[in-house]
Copies of this chain bind each other. A is one copy, B any other.
């Protein structure tokens, strides 16, 4: 099995190294990762400047781009292997609820959608993780399962693992994304030259974090696995929208 690994914390992240090491026990691993922290990069693609790749002493390919750039380049010609699956992570810090919109880790996995297997983003629920080996072990098991018993190819699995010893995990559950309240207000400040500056405020507190959500699972010690879709169409609204559009607009003949 050929596994393409990336992340958004950058090629030196302990989480990435732990993931690559663990996956090497079950397949051929190729790592293509950003040259620096690109958290919050979402699916951004670099179109206006060219990218550069360099091989690190440990075999990783380092790219001066976003997570999406890394996976995109790997799948469109940079990879010496033809990967079967993309696994992104281990992100330091959870990617729960609305976080997935901004996450570069989830974006890296999403970019693997043209391959014949689901892609996976895996995060550990602490910004200073103590138990990366737990998340790495979870990753290995899920990838083996995906190989032996495939799910739909276009699914992205968003996996969040509590930061605890493996033996303390409460189990694995399929979850839906919860969501957060509106973000905290921006933080206004002054730079040393007297100019006004703004920092993006903290993410909002949990709003929908009840039973069945990813927030709830992780809080209770479970590995949360949320199936994500690439197709953002809100199918349930198509009929309503169709009716709503009738007579909505001036006739083009006007």
Contacts and interface: CB of A to CB of B under 8 A. Distances in A.
Given A35-B36, A173-B245, A228 B238 contact: no
Interface string A210-229: 00000000000001011111
A254 interface: yes
A137 B242 CA distance: 19
Given A76-B185, A196-B52, A46 B36 contact: no
Given A76-B186, A232-B232, A36 B36 contact: yes
A60 to B, nearest CB: 13
Contact of A230 (B41, B76, B101, B149): B101
Interface string A155-187: 101000000001111111110110101111111
A171 to B, nearest CB: 7
Contact of A232 (B182, B229, B239, B253): B229
Contacts of A233: 176-177, 226-229
Contacts of A43: 42-43, 101-102
A228 to B, nearest CB: 5
B40 A45 contact: yes
A110 interface: yes
Interface residues of A, number: 103
Contacts of A200: 45-47, 51, 69, 72-73, 76, 192
Nearest to A168: B252
Contacts of A249: 138, 141-142, 145, 172, 223
A152 B98 CA distance: 18
Nearest to A176: B233
Contact of A78 (B39, B167, B181, B198): B198
13 contacts: A40-B46, A42-B43, A48-B52, A49-B49, A72-B183, A142-B248, A168-B252, A176-B231, A176-B238, A177-B232, A192-B199, A227-B233, A227-B241
Given A167-B252, A176-B233, A179-B231, 16 more contacts: A36-B64, A42-B45, A43-B43, A43-B102, A44-B66, A50-B191, A50-B199, A51-B197, A78-B186, A100-B232, A151-B237, A152-B237, A166-B254, A174-B241, A191-B199, A226-B233
Closest 6 CB pairs of A and B: A50-B197, A169-B252, A42-B43, A42-B42, A229-B234, A174-B241
